[in-house]
Chains A and B, each alone.
Chain A
Amino acid sequence: MSGPQITMDAGDQAVLKLGGDLTLAHAVDLQNQIASLPAAPKMLDLAGVERIDTVGAWLVHCLARDNDARIQGASDEAERLIEQVSVADEPVKIRPDRTPPFLRVLGEVGDATMQAGRTLLGLLGFFGAVVVASWHLMRNPRRFRINAVVSQFEAVGVTALAIVGLMSFLIGIVIGQQGAVQLRQFGAEVFTINLIGRITLRELGVLMTAIMVAGRSGSAFAAQIGSMKLAEEVDAMRIIGVSPMEALVMPRVIAAVFLMPLLGFYSSLVAIVGGGIFCWISLDIPPITFIQRIREVVPVTDMWVGLLKAPVFGLIIAMAGCFQGMLVEGNAEDVGRRTTASVVQAIFLVIVLDAFFAVFFTSIGWD
């Protein structure tokens, strides 16, 4: 393997002799040598070329084109390659035209706003479709797909018990521990029990469960329905006369709406157990005392606050998942994007609604 050698014939002819390897590996060397030529060549002599590839041919072609030079002494192979690249010498652009940054930002803000509006409108429409489908199901209970619902119950509820339980247990401990540290400053460690009991039943049990379910099941809804959409399964259902709303969406919505309260309540209980164990070990409050205090300080309305919110959260999670899944179009990339969108949307809406619920329940006196 030898590098490219080029020598300029100093005569009037301005013959440039090229030799050695004119290949991609030596392209930079060759380019530098060409750039440092003293004068424009009129004739290119390729007789000394040992190896040439399309990159070498391209550089020779450019040299000939820019200087209006003729090529001589090329081997068959070199001639073929130069011919090939000269045919392919077309003004191909590499990158799309760039818009000025200010305009681009403006455009993106506009697009995002429109997109958000459209999504909200679409979600509202989807809610309508869910209501209509529920009405149809109530009038024709025989169309109710019990098997699909049961399998969704398993996917959303049963298989979530372990992870939700572990999460809640740890959250109970964290609340207990952090609460105790703060309350100790006032000598009011015993109020840690109030903190644990009330905050888990009212807020954290259901909220953390909703976030977990959105991440576990809402995303799964979007991905499942999305990939069915891609494989044209959803279209096939419609053609056969099966309503995708009834077959795919309703079982998932029902499962989420019924299981969210159960999971939320379970989560609250486990968190209280976690907090109780922390109080026992760390604050020397025996379990009996802990339970008795919980019964005294936690009003039953706290449980209702949690339980009433839960089905609404479930509905939102299932709807966001199914809605985004139904919107999948085109390619597998879209499934990923829609799945992410469904989780973000579900958690965002859950937290917004939770704020409304907090204000509402306080104002009706359930504080």
Chain B
Amino acid sequence: MAQAQDVIIKVEDLSNSFGDQKVHEHLSIEVHRGEILGVVGGSGTGKSVLMRSIIGLQHPESGSVEVFGEPMIDRDENEAKWVRKRWGVLFQGGALFSTLTVAENVQVPLREYYPELAPQLLDEIAAYKVAMSGLGIEAGPKYPSELSGGMRKRAGLARALALDPELLFLDEPTAGLDPIGAANFDTLIKELKETLGLTVFLITHDLDTLYAICDRVAVLADRKVVAVGTIPELLALDHPWITEYFKGPRGRAAADAADREDAAHVEARG
């Protein structure tokens, strides 16, 4: 993945705390164009807080955040808006607007930024985005309360992709999905990344997702990013948490599964 190192997200010296509890201390991280960066860390290490700091929902105590080369902290709301429309965010529970149907949810960002679009084109765009996210055609007119957890996440993804973003933030996209649904979601993200040329910032606990789709993995521990790299690079490090994470029983199982998958691909091609 040694492409031209075009930096999309640059976080430097970020510190966050809630009351006495320090979540981040002088944390730095970079995300490059066209990669899927997986962010892992134990519960309470501030993965979601990091994402919220980058997208501007959490005001950090100190540090700088740049997205697409634009400083994001203390940015004027009107200017930030034009950066924001270049990214899409999938929240953990989907965060769909409950009074709108799935298709209308997809139309919300389109209506907000491009009010001049004709209603028919809006409907068409919403329709193909819904189909692209792997939701069946019957899902369009449904309300979020009528959907299962997995479908809600797909609908949230459809809305995140509404503006054809260059950058996608995913907060635990496979949490709470059954293994089949989770694997399908992984494939979907990888496909979308390849066809749409997305850069993906992905928070996850799911080892299978890490092995299956992430180009690089950043490990959050001790209030900062302790390591960034491909999984083999991380394994070469001698950090206790990383070792336990990837070499524990679940880590080994996921690695074996990834190996088998690769072998199957090679066989199929050969």
> A residues near B, CB below 8 A?
23-25, 27-28, 31, 53-55, 58, 62, 77, 80-81, 83-85, 87-97, 330-331, 333
Distance in Å from the Cβ of B133 to the closest Cβ of chain A?
9
Structural contact, B127 and A90, CB atoms closer than 8 A = yes
CA distance A358 to B196 in the complex (A): 73
Say if the beta carbon of B103 comes within 8 Å of chain A: yes
B101-124, CB < 8 A from A: 101, 103-104, 107, 110, 114, 116-118, 121, 123-124
B69-121, CB < 8 A from A: 98, 101, 103-104, 107, 110, 114, 116-118, 121
Distance in Å from the Cβ of B102 to the closest Cβ of chain A?
9
Of A31, A62, A85, A330, the contact of B132 (CB 8 Å cutoff): A85
Structural contact, B117 and A27, CB atoms closer than 8 A = yes
Candidate in B125, B163, B197 with the most chain A CB atoms within 10 angstroms: B125
Q: Which residue of A lies closest to B127 (CB)?
A: A92
Structural contact, B125 and A94, CB atoms closer than 8 A = no
Q: Which residue of B lies closest to A32 (CB)?
A: B118
* Contact mask for chain B residues 148-191; partner A; CB cutoff 8 A; 1 contact, 0 none: 00000000000001011000000000000000000000000000
CB-CB < 8 A to A53: which residues of B?
164, 196
Distance in Å from the Cβ of B110 to the closest Cβ of chain A?
8
Say if the beta carbon of B55 comes within 8 Å of chain A: no
Say if the beta carbon of B126 comes within 8 Å of chain A: yes
Distance in Å from the Cβ of A36 to the closest Cβ of chain B?
14
Distance in Å from the Cβ of A51 to the closest Cβ of chain B?
10
A55 with B103, Cβ < 8 A, contacts A81-B196, A93-B140 known: no
A94 with B164, Cβ < 8 A, contacts A24-B114, A58-B128, A62-B124 known: no
Say if the beta carbon of B137 comes within 8 Å of chain A: yes
Structural contact, A84 and B132, CB atoms closer than 8 A = yes
Structural contact, A23 and B164, CB atoms closer than 8 A = yes
Structural contact, B132 and A27, CB atoms closer than 8 A = no
20 contacts between A and B (CB under 8 A): A23-B164, A54-B161, A54-B164, A58-B128, A62-B124, A77-B197, A80-B194, A80-B195, A85-B128, A87-B132, A88-B129, A88-B131, A88-B132, A89-B131, A92-B137, A92-B140, A93-B103, A94-B140, A94-B141, A96-B141
Structural contact, A333 and B145, CB atoms closer than 8 A = yes
Of A62, A77, A92, the contact of B131 (CB 8 Å cutoff): A92
Q: Which residue of B lies closest to A85 (CB)?
A: B128
A28 with B116, Cβ < 8 A, contacts A53-B164, A93-B140, A96-B101 known: yes
Structural contact, A25 and B145, CB atoms closer than 8 A = no
CA distance A358 to B102 in the complex (A): 53
Beyond A24-B164, A54-B128, A89-B131, 13 additional contacts (C-beta under 8 Å) are A28-B117, A53-B196, A80-B194, A83-B195, A87-B131, A90-B128, A91-B137, A92-B103, A92-B137, A93-B103, A94-B101, A95-B103, A333-B145
CB-CB < 8 A to A95: which residues of B?
101, 103-104, 141
Q: Which residue of B lies closest to A330 (CB)?
A: B145
Say if the beta carbon of B130 comes within 8 Å of chain A: yes
Structural contact, B101 and A25, CB atoms closer than 8 A = no
Q: Which residue of A lies closest to B122 (CB)?
A: A94
CB-CB < 8 A to A24: which residues of B?
110, 114, 163-164
CA distance A73 to B142 in the complex (A): 40
CA distance A53 to B140 in the complex (A): 22
A25 with B114, Cβ < 8 A, contacts A31-B121, A92-B126, A93-B137 known: yes
CB-CB < 8 A to A85: which residues of B?
128, 132
Nearest 9 Cβ contacts at the A-B interface: A88-B131, A92-B127, A53-B164, A94-B103, A92-B140, A88-B128, A88-B132, A96-B141, A93-B141
CB-CB < 8 A to A331: which residues of B?
145
CB-CB < 8 A to B145: which residues of A?
330-331, 333
Distance in Å from the Cβ of A198 to the closest Cβ of chain B?
49
CA distance A78 to B26 in the complex (A): 42
Of A87, A92, A330, the contact of B130 (CB 8 Å cutoff): A92
CB-CB < 8 A to A23: which residues of B?
164
CB-CB < 8 A to B132: which residues of A?
54, 84-85, 87-88
CB-CB < 8 A to A27: which residues of B?
114, 117, 121
CB-CB < 8 A to B138: which residues of A?
93
CA distance A112 to B76 in the complex (A): 48
Distance in Å from the Cβ of B187 to the closest Cβ of chain A?
14
Structural contact, B196 and A58, CB atoms closer than 8 A = no
